[in-house]
């Protein structure tokens, strides 16, 4: 008997071939993809649109894997960090960052990292392994599942009777285990109170009333590949994951940003294999001498080669490259550094994210004083550069930039 297939390892096209090989109609593939990537089901049994017989047929040859959440911790600023266990017991972290008009998930592409940047905790672990495409995407599915469940609970708890309490006969609670489809069943012809019109916004997210369901959704809107690992050193799996994210989860490529330490040959290839995805470059120094010390990858791909690759990177109208610059006291925060940075990126359509160093366990580098940070920013602004001073969220839970260690 052949081994069962993990459905999450299959691309959209492969799901279609799988369904066709079973002798099933094409629309079953679309249903399966929807329930995997939009309803976040934990098992084949949870795909209630399929008959019992069809579910049994699928279970004979396939299964659905799920990332295991070991723990999650929420910051005072609302940022939430998730520690996931992979099938081989390796661990990775993802960070959910709420903002006024978006929910951004920072995801990992590797367990550990080979680059050894001096300001980053992940590099201290060393490289363990690349993540598979489905493991990258599954971080999004797992967090969306939690968001959907929490939004549903919040809606019930904040709604007047008969939506909640012991005497709430009209709504049946979701039954798909810990992570549920984002639906609440409606009762036998009774009107749900309070009535909601399609698309009306509620406390838990966007609510819409259909013929027999009340949909409660709260989901990730933006993705940044800025978690553990160097995405461009896991190129094939990352680009495969990007295609799935865009085509199957409903997140626009314009709302996805990939950050690299500067793997020069892969930057041009990224534009070819994942066109439209935003590029961020972790720059962090204005001379090769300094960058060699804090980012060893610079010895292989120095600043000139990196910036040439950035100049050739195709940008859609209105899009810019983001240069991330971690400010480190007495390392890269001088007036001369600011002036060299202006010269280095001259003519590039870009913006600069200044990130004061986030402290981490065992680190010898320090954050500059606020007056030096502001002075550095002001020099850039005076030269008409778009500069954002990014105070990283989640510092109190060790979830900020450079602090992830997979534990």
Cα 345 from chain centroid (whole Å): 27
The one catalytic residue among 93, 135, 237, 324:
93
Catalytic residue status for 14:
no
Q: DSSP states of 223-256 as a string?
A: EEE-SSS-GGGGHHHHHHHHHHIIIII---GGGE
CA angle 258, 261, 267 (to 5 degrees): 60
How far is Cα 258 from Cα 18, in angstroms, rounded to an integer? 31
Q: Which among 405, 407, 329, 403 has a CA at the least distance from the CA of 364?
A: 329
Q: DSSP states of 261-283 as a string?
A: S--HHHHHHHHHHSTT-EEEEE-
Edge-to-edge strands of the sheet including 321-327? 68-74, 80-85, 91-98, 103-106, 222-225, 256-260, 278-282, 321-327, 350-356, 387-389
Is 201 exposed, middle or buried (CB count within 10 Å of its CB: 0-12, 13-18, 19+)? exposed
How far is Cα 375 from Cα 334, in angstroms, rounded to an integer? 9
The one catalytic residue among 106, 310, 350, 401:
401
Q: DSSP states of 133-164 as a string?
A: HHHHHHHHHHHHHHHHHHHHHHHHHHSPTTSS
How far is Cα 356 from Cα 395, in angstroms, rounded to an integer? 12
Do residues 142 and 69 touch, judged by C-beta distance below 8 A?
yes
3-state secondary structure of 93: strand
Q: Which residues pair with 350 in a beta bridge?
A: 321
- Which residue in this structure is represented by tokens 């959209």? 12
Catalytic residue status for 113:
no
Give the residue numbers marked as catalytic: 93, 401
């Amino acid at each position: 008997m052949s081994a069962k297939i993990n459905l999450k390892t299959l691309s959209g096209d492969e799901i279609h071939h799988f369904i066709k090989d079973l002798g099933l109609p094409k629309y079953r593939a679309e249903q399966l993809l929807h329930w995997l990537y939009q309803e976040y089901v934990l098992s084949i049994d949870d795909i209630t649109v399929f008959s019992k017989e069809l579910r049994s047929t699928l279970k004979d040859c396939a299964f659905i894997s799920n990332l295991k959440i070991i723990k999650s911790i929420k910051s005072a600023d609302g940022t939430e960090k998730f520690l996931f266990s992979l099938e081989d017991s390796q661990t990775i972290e993802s960070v959910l960052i709420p903002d006024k008009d978006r929910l951004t998930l920072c995801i990992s592409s590797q367990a550990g990292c080979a680059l050894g940047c001096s300001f980053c905790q992940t590099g201290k672990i060393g490289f363990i392994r690349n993540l598979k495409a489905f493991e990258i995407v599954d971080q999004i599915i797992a967090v969306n599942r939690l968001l959907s469940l929490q939004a549903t609970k919040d809606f019930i708890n904040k709604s007047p009777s008969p939506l909640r309490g012991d005497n709430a006969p009209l709504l049946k609670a979701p039954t798909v285990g810990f992570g549920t489809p984002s639906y609440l069943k409606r009762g036998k012809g009774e009107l749900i109170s309070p009535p909601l019109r399609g698309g009306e916004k509620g406390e838990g997210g966007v609510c819409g009333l259909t013929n027999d369901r009340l949909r409660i959704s709260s989901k990730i809107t933006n993705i940044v590949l800025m978690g553990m690992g160097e995405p461009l050193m896991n190129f094939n799996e990352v680009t495969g994951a990007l295609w799935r994210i865009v085509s199957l989860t409903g997140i626009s490529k314009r709302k996805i940003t990939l950050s690299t330490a500067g793997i020069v040959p892969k930057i041009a290839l990224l534009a070819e294999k994942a066109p439209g995805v935003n590029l961020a470059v972790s720059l962090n120094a204005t001379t090769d001498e300094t960058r060699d010390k804090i980012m060893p990858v610079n010895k292989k791909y120095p600043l000139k080669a990196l910036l040439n690759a950035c100049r050739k990177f195709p940008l859609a109208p209105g899009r810019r490259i983001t240069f991330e610059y971690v400010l480190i006291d007495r390392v890269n925060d001088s007036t001369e550094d600011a002036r060299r940075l202006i010269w280095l990126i001259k003519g590039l359509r870009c913006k600069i994210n200044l990130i004061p160093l986030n402290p981490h366990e065992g680190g010898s580098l320090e954050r500059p004083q606020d007056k030096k940070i502001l002075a550095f920013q002001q020099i850039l602004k005076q030269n008409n550069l778009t500069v954002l001073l990014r105070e990283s969220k989640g510092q109190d839970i060790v979830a900020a930039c450079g602090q992830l260690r997979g534990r």
